[in-house]
Structure formats: structure tokens, C-alpha cells
Amino acid sequence: MDVRTYIERHRETFVAELKEWLAIPSVSSDPEHGGDVHASAEWLARHLEDVGFATVEIWQTGGLPAVFAEWPAADPDAPTVLVYGHHDVQPVDPVEEWETDPFVPVEQGERLTGRGSSDDKGQVLFHTLGVRACMAASERQRPPVTLKLLVEGEEEAGSPNLTGLLEERRDRLACDVVVVSDTTMWDADTPSMCVGLRGMTDCQIDVYGPEVDLHSGTFGGAVPNPARALAGVLAGMHDSDGRVAIPGFYDDVVEVSADERELLARLPFDEAEWLRTARSTAAAGEAGYGTLERVWVRPTAEINGMWSGHTGAGPRTIVPSSAHAKVSFRLVPDQEPARVQRRVRDYVESALPEGVRATVGFSGPGVRACSSDITSPAVRAAREAMSRAFDTEVLFTREGGSGPEAALAGILEAPLVFVAVGLDDDRIHAPNEKVEVPLLLKGAESVAYLWEDLAARSRAASMSNRLW
């Protein structure tokens, strides 16, 4: 029985299993649902045992549990793949906007609605269907690659314990490639592979002038105004071409290759439609780059918030004593968050007038950008596998946001490949999250082909670990 037939015949079981899992409200950011996150981990562990994984463990962390599973290939020289996903979900507020109960999954036609259906339980679960299809098609008793799964329980809470877990369990997690199934495709008719996420670092800038708010009649015009100083700092962060004007900001930026730009340009991007989604009347950004490039492959400095002095009703004629802003920076390869942080501090210091001082506090070490080399064998194999599953060419996308994937690649020293079938209109993080069941089945089919292909390439190269 070929992969596709196997998957089609097991669709009903697959959906039934997913519905069972989706019924567990594993909201990681809500302490009241801590027990549910544990229950979700237990459900997954039991399911992985049922599927046949040789080792299944629930890994406790300082927070909520991750699930680890391993199923060794018969061939000791077969490559090792680590699949990353998460079993926790977003909160459901505003719950009154859901048309059905977020934790009573409902199948209507091809669509399955429920919290976590797309992000990320559906995309984790297609792996168990995929590996069974792969084995059934080749009549194997074990997968052609050594398959490891790491399904964490705190992704929607910012993965606070993931880095520690990766460092602590580095040996158990050792692999030749990391497959991430937690992103989206261009759209249902345009299958695509994500090949990069931006990094991020964010800070709060606090500017201090006179120690107290001053009457603007008595003192105005003769003392430094920290709100004006902050406006200067913020306005000076960009030049008139929309480039970030912080000295050295672009030093380590790797320009995206002409090949990738050409591939991005082939995506059926409709700027008018994009602007409607953004509810913005104009696109704006760095000169010389299109909208997709601006959100995917170019770094940014963005004011997320600011406040100073009187913000209530009516006038209050003061020189405020302080002014504050939250600013975040999206990063691209090879910007180092720590280096960007130093550049930002130096810039703020240099942009302040006499009589005001500032502190720049970053919320953490920041997250590096990550990207896949589109010329690498792993990306080529994954693209071919997806093309075969979708019966069409697969294009490349990126994501402008940031996730824990850079930590996976960095700590495990393995390349990242994104195989995912979510859609931008799946309403993840919003009411009425749904997933298209046929796309989950295509995901299963893709990885079924991918495992065979990776094993074949490895055998052909006879030196698997050098392939990636």
C-alpha cells in the first residue's frame, strides 16, 4: 500500500485521535490549566507508545512538561531526525467570540475547529500518521531514519525552559537535522516551506530630566524636556530612507541571496490584500525592498509603546520629569542580539542632550534569527518530499516573527528544516482556530516521503553525518 493510500484509509482514526487530544485544554500561560498541560503530555506519551516509539518519556522542567520520544532506525548508520513541536495551546479569550466550544473540536467538511488544531497539536500529530504510512509503504518494522520527537509544553508561554532543557539533554537530543512543524504555508493552493524566522530583542528606554514635573510657565523653555529628548532618540532611529540609523546596526546583516529574492518574488503576493489585512492605508519601510522582504529578510526597529507626563483628559502644562518607550528590534542572520543591544545603548547615549540621562533595559538576551540554507541537501529533500505530496512545486517563504527555533539549531548544532502545513487564516491565537484536515494529511505524506528520502541520500553518501 502506498503512502497516500495508507493515509487516506487512516484519515478517520487520525481525526478521532486529534479530537481527543484537542479536548484537553492545555493552556500553558494560565496556571489554572497546569493540570491540563500535564494531562496533554500524558495523552501524547500514551499515543506515541501506541504508535510504536521505543522510548517515550515525559520530561519535567521548572515549568510544564515536554514529551520526548525516540524510535531508532534498523540501520545504525541511518540519519537521526529530531521533530520539534508543542502540545500547549493559546488562551481562548475572548471566549464569547468562538462559534463552538474551543475544547469540543468540531469537524465540518474538510475543516476541524478547536484550540490547538493548527497550532500545534494537528501538526505534531501528522508525524505519527506520517511515520506509520512510511513504514507501511516500505513494509518496515522501524522507521528508515532514527526519529526523535521533542514536543514542549510551554511554547505559547515563551518557552522559558526550552534552552535549559536543550542544554541539559543535548546528548539525548543529538540529531542530524531538526524538523520544525509549527509554521505556515503561503496558502492552501501554494504549498511552501518556511526557510527562516527573524530574531528579536526588545528594550525599554527610560529618559530622565528634572527630578520632578515642572510648571511649563515657570520653567518651560529653559530646562531640558525628557519627552522631547526621547522623541529625538526615537525619531533619529530611522533615516529618511526608512533604514535603521543606529550606527553599526546593519554590520552583520547577511543580504538575502539573489536566488532567494527571485523565489520570494514568485509568490503570488497581493499588496492591496495584504494592506487590507493590516488595515493600513499605505505600505512603508526600508527603501529598496518590497513588503515581503521588509517583513521577512530585513531587520527593523519598531516603537511598541511610549509614555510620558500627562496622559489624562484636558491640559496640564508641565515639563515632565521622565519619558519612556518600549522598542523592539527584529533581527536577521547574522545579527547577534548582544551586539545589537550594545549598538542601541551606544546610540541612545549619543543621542541625548545635556541634562537628561537614560537607561536602556533589555527584557532578556534576545533571540537570534534562524534560517535554512536553501541549497542544502536537507532543504532540497524536504522540498521534494512536499512537492511530491502536494503534486506541485513548493516555494519558499519566511516568517517575520521569532520563535525558539534558533535555540534548537544553535544548541543542537543541526540545520533546521520547516515542514509545516498551517495557514495564515487558521486563526491561531484567535477565536475559532481551525485546521484544514487535507493539509494535515499532506503534512503526514510529506514526512513519510522525507524519511525515506533522507535515509536513501544517507546511504548513497555512505557518510550520513556529513550530509547536512
What part of residues 272-311 is at the interface with a copy of itself (CB under 8 A)? Answer: 278-286, 291, 294-295, 298-300, 302-311
- SS3 state of residue 150: strand
One-letter amino acid of 199 = G
Minimum CB distance to a copy of itself smaller for 200 or for 370: 200
- 318 interacts with a copy of itself by CB under 8 A: yes
Taking the C-alpha atoms of 38, 44, 46 and 52 in order, what is their torsion angle to the nearest 10 degrees?
-150
Yes or no: say if 291 and 332 are a contact pair by the CB < 8 Å rule: no
d(CA 155, CA 182): 10
d(CA 343, CA 337): 10
Q: Which helix (H) or strand (E) holds 460?
A: helix 437-461
Minimum CB distance to a copy of itself smaller for 137 or for 323: 323
Count of residues that bind a copy of itself according to CB under 8 A: 75
**Interacting residue with a copy of itself among 96, 189, 211, 391 (CB under 8 A):** 211
What is the smallest separation between the CB atom of 312 and a copy of itself, expressed in angstroms? 8
Which stretch in 74-82, 113-121, 198-206, 438-446 sits in contact with a copy of itself by CB under 8 A? 198-206
What contacts 457, CB < 8 A, 6 or more positions away?
Answer: 377, 381, 467
What is the smallest separation between the CB atom of 236 and a copy of itself, expressed in angstroms? 7
Q: Hunting for cell 548544532 — which residue is that?
A: 413
Minimum CB distance to a copy of itself smaller for 237 or for 412: 237
One-letter amino acid of 28 = S
**Interacting residue with a copy of itself among 26, 128, 183, 328 (CB under 8 A):** 328
- SS3 state of residue 453: helix
Minimum CB distance to a copy of itself smaller for 254 or for 283: 283
**Interacting residue with a copy of itself among 221, 268, 272, 391 (CB under 8 A):** 221
d(CA 103, CA 433): 11
Minimum CB distance to a copy of itself smaller for 65 or for 404: 404
Q: Which of residues 359-388 bind a copy of itself (CB under 8 A)?
A: 363
**Interacting residue with a copy of itself among 251, 401, 425, 456 (CB under 8 A):** 401
Which stretch in 95-103, 144-152, 350-358, 438-446 sits in contact with a copy of itself by CB under 8 A? 350-358
What is the smallest separation between the CB atom of 28 and a copy of itself, expressed in angstroms? 16
What is the smallest separation between the CB atom of 202 and a copy of itself, expressed in angstroms? 4
- 198 interacts with a copy of itself by CB under 8 A: yes
Q: Which of residues 224-243 bind a copy of itself (CB under 8 A)?
A: 224-225, 227-228, 230-232, 234-238
What is the smallest separation between the CB atom of 283 and a copy of itself, expressed in angstroms? 6
Minimum CB distance to a copy of itself smaller for 86 or for 148: 86
What is the smallest separation between the CB atom of 81 and a copy of itself, expressed in angstroms? 27
Minimum CB distance to a copy of itself smaller for 2 or for 97: 97
What's the DSSP call for residue 96? G
What is the smallest separation between the CB atom of 373 and a copy of itself, expressed in angstroms? 22
Minimum CB distance to a copy of itself smaller for 58 or for 275: 275
Minimum CB distance to a copy of itself smaller for 51 or for 306: 306
Cell of 216: 511649563
For the chain, the residue count is 468
Q: Which residue pairs, CB below 8 angstroms and at least 24 apart, start in 261-268?
A: 261/293, 263/374, 263/395, 263/396, 264/292, 264/293, 264/296, 264/297, 264/396, 264/397, 264/398, 265/290, 266/395, 267/186, 267/190, 267/192, 267/292, 267/395, 267/397, 268/186, 268/190
Minimum CB distance to a copy of itself smaller for 190 or for 291: 291
What is the smallest separation between the CB atom of 344 and a copy of itself, expressed in angstroms? 14
Taking the C-alpha atoms of 314, 317, 318 and 324 in order, what is their torsion angle to the nearest 10 degrees?
40
> Cβ atoms within 10 A of the Cβ of 17, count?
18
